[in-house]
Structure 1
């Protein structure tokens, strides 16, 4: 019956990875459905799988629709998540309609083990010898729900990072503009009592406040934050989720490093670390800007840990399973 397979929607060349993955797996489900023998008791599940595949095709088309809709779709993740959930439903109904499900059981167990821990009763029932077909379907549904919920959580975190980045960008820009139009209003220069010189020492090297002092400090604060971004990229594993967070985490770090560079300079000028920090030159002053920028790592490390835990739910760690399966 394989010659009767309908291929569904054809993915064009200019698409993202998630569309290619969804389209490929939808083809597989169609081929498996076409290969099933006609069993009257399984017709309801077969029809439900076909309806879910139609939803997949529809969302793949809509995801490459009008450009003015792409922004809202990107923010809400509507097309991505609906396509994935519909694909998962099609795979579940395929399992419910398959009379030879037990032959596929090793692979299904591996997929379920990616998202359900060993203490979960649904996984335990599925791991038992000769599980009932309803037990397998229920375990698959729970595993796919966990995967879909993790992706929705990743999207929510990504949107929060975007909002935080926009707020920090506006704040840094406002501070820079204040520094240009009102030099000295945001004091970045060190008084003689804080330096090894007899005169005022400013980040731009002058002896009086300049309109570029704030920008200079922000630049070197961003440089310090960039160092922590490199470390983040080195230790981060590749993401299999359509929502990649590492770029937004890096943006937050850099913008926050710029802001903390300014805050650190204010602390130096106010003498809050008097007796501990002694600035002897412009180079030393800018070096402290780098250090203050890198100091954002103390706070954003909590964000990194949370993002790591979330992405580990999206693409589980290898040591959580004993066999290799196909991840979402």
Structure 2
């Protein structure tokens, strides 16, 4: 089967009653296909499509029950629309705003709403099979003092201890809806932090690039050269070192590559800290690559730290470090300052890991929650 056949199944092969596929002849679809955006390479997209197909099968089964009931007809029609929107969200690529998460939100929100309608449609004798799933969602997403969680726990306890009836359908729907709402908020926080890290990476990169360009076009103004006090006949720059003469001074020997070389050395030192932190990085089940965004921030930050650190040494700001003796020593200090950015970015790593760890867990509630 070709890739086109896999991504755009023919109409006659679709299961009866399944949600309609998005119009492949639309202008947006043609533009997305031109850029290769119709290729579903994300795991969350495939999971969404599989889940939507499964719910479509459940919807076909519900169509056979009480087909003349107008309320059920309205619910079935609404669920079919939601599944179609979820599939469309899983297939679309938001080229205008890739960091907004619009496609993911569209797919996940519609899919969860479809599951709530399915819970509304299932027969009374099937409600028992939903209790465990709803309870798991409530315990993983809702705080202990949440009214829905308390009411569901009480109903389950009564059912298990006294042989009572299965929890009310409205209670199950309300609890599952609240759990989905909290989970959506957690994903929004993860995406927001990811976007902040990406924006910070771009800003720091532009700052480092701007300094490198300034040093390229005005090397004498932004000189990183040294004149060791013990050997006054030698001038040391990141890219060259030469004996001092009447025409060769600290300012005139400055090369346009000096700032760039120091920043490259700093970026290399920062990259080493990224490699060293890999054993402590944990994977995530969220569709947002938060650990990668935190790691990428280190590289331009290391370049900027190296430049500023060498500049501080040249300005004799750091006690005990006034002049450097060789070009290699200048670049070595650039690597050291680049690696030292971890003293700042480690707080970002900690925050990112805490956010991922808390995703899917109840948020902090009242003091009564903490006592429990």
Match of 1:153 among 173, 189, 200: 189
Shift of 1:246: 2.6
The answer as to 2:248 corresponding to 1:206 is: no
Map 1:1-328; keep pairs closer than 5 Å: 4=16, 6=18, 8-9=20-21, 14-36=40-62, 38=65, 40=69, 43=72, 44-61=74-91, 63-64=92-93, 70-98=94-122, 99=124, 100-128=126-154, 129=156, 130-193=166-229, 197-198=231-232, 199-207=234-242, 208-275=253-320, 279-314=324-359
Cα distance in 2 between the residues matched to 1:276 and 1:206: 19
Cα distance in 2 between the residues matched to 1:136 and 1:197: 81
Query: Structure 1 residues 232 and 141, CA, compared in 2 at 3 Å: closer, same or farther?
Result: farther
* Deviating more after overlay: 25-34 vs 70-79: 70-79
Query: Structure 1 residues 236 and 103, CA, compared in 2 at 3 Å: closer, same or farther?
Result: same
Shift of 1:41: 8.9
Greater helix content = 1
The 3-state SS of whatever aligns with 1:117 is coil
Shift of 1:225: 1.0
CA deviation string 1:142-196 (max 9, x = no partner): 2211222222223323332332222222222221122222223223223324xx6
C-alpha contact (below 8 Å) 2:228/2:323 kept by paired residues: no
Cα distance in 2 between the residues matched to 1:118 and 1:209: 65
* Deviating more after overlay: 113-122 vs 21-30: 113-122
Cα distance in 1 between the residues matched to 2:273 and 2:178: 38
Shift of 1:197: 4.2
Cα distance in 2 between the residues matched to 1:143 and 1:191: 66
Whichever of the two has the greater Rg, that structure is: 2
* Deviating more after overlay: 198-207 vs 136-145: 198-207
The 3-state SS of whatever aligns with 1:200 is strand
C-alpha contact (below 8 Å) 1:114/1:316 kept by paired residues: yes
- Of structures 1 and 2, the one scoring higher in RCO (CA 8 A, sep 6+) is 1
The 3-state SS of whatever aligns with 1:72 is coil
Cα distance in 2 between the residues matched to 1:287 and 1:179: 19
In the other structure, the counterpart of 2:27 is none
Q: Gapped runs of 5+ residues in structure 1?
A: 65-69, 318-328
C-alpha contact (below 8 Å) 2:120/2:169 kept by paired residues: yes
Cα distance in 1 between the residues matched to 2:55 and 2:231: 75
Shift of 1:206: 1.7
Cα distance in 1 between the residues matched to 2:221 and 2:323: 23
The 3-state SS of whatever aligns with 1:71 is coil
* Deviating more after overlay: 285-294 vs 272-281: 272-281
TM-score of the superposed pair, with normalisation by structure 2? 0.73
C-alpha contact (below 8 Å) 2:190/2:355 kept by paired residues: yes
The 3-state SS of whatever aligns with 1:75 is coil
CA deviation string 1:3-24 (max 9, x = no partner): 8552654997644222111111
Shift of 1:231: 3.5
Query: Structure 1 residues 197 and 101, CA, compared in 2 at 3 Å: closer, same or farther?
Result: farther
Cα distance in 1 between the residues matched to 2:21 and 2:153: 36
The 3-state SS of whatever aligns with 1:254 is helix
Q: Aligned-pair RMSD on alpha carbons?
A: 2.8
